[in-house]
Structure 1
Amino acid sequence: MSQICTQVSCTCQCFRPDKTNLRICDHCRHGWVAHALDKLFQPAQPLLSATQVEVAHPGVVFDLASLVLYGATALPIRLKILLDRLLSVLTRDQVLYILHSLGWTLQDYCRGYILQVGG
C-alpha cells in the first residue's frame, strides 16, 4: 500500500524517502506527515469503548509504522502509545516482521529508542 501525498495539487502516489532526509519524500519534497494523512482519514465507524481495540490490517499497520519508525532512532511517547495500540492486535510474528523490516528490535521498540553500541 502506498502513502498518497495529501498536499493540494500534489500528484505523488507513493512516499519515497530522500537519501539525506528520510522524513522528506524524494519525489514531491513534502514531509512524511502529508503522506500519512490519507491513512488516518477513514470512513466514520461506530465508537469503540476504551477497552475495545479495532481490528487492523497488517499492511496498514506496516505503512503507518514505517512513517514513524523508518530512519528514526527514538520514538516520541505519544506515537509509541498509538503504535502500541495498533501492534497489540497483530500476532507476535507480524510485530517482529514489521519492526525488523524497519531496523528496530523488539527490545529497542519497548525501550522507545535504538540503543547505540559504542565501537
Structure 2
Amino acid sequence: MYIGELIKKYREKHGLSMQDFANLSGISKAYIGVLEKVYNPTTKEPVAPSLPKIQAIASAMGMELDDLLKLLDHNQPVIVNTNRPAQHLNEDEKQLLDDYRKLNDTGKIVARGSIETLAKQDQFTNKVKDDEAI
C-alpha cells in the first residue's frame, strides 16, 4: 500500500479531515492531498515523501517509523537524503533553504506562514496591476 492510501484509510477510520491530519502531523494539507492522490499527475509516478515526512506521518498515526515502513508497498519511493544540494536553485534560494533547514519546527511553521502570506500578497498585487491594465 502507498503512504497516501494509508493516510486516507487512517483519516476515514478516525473521522479526520485532511486539515485535522495536517495539524496532527505538521505536514501541510496540500501535501497530504498530494500524497493521497498517490501519483504525481505530471510524471504519473508515485509521490516520493522524505523519511522525515514519513516519520511525521507515523507519529500522527501513533506508530513507530519501522512499523509504518513495513506497511508500505515495495514500489513506494522514498527520499532518503533531504540535505542534498538543490542543483536547480540560484545562490539566494540555496541560502534561504540552508537557513530554513536550521530552524526548529516552530520556526519552520512561522517561516512557511510568512512565505505563504507574501505569496498571496504578491498574487493580489499582480492581479490588481492586471485589472488596472484592462
What TM-score comes out, normalization by structure 2 length?
Answer: 0.27
For the pair shown, the structure with the greater C-alpha radius of gyration is: 2
Pick the structure with more helix per residue. Answer: 2
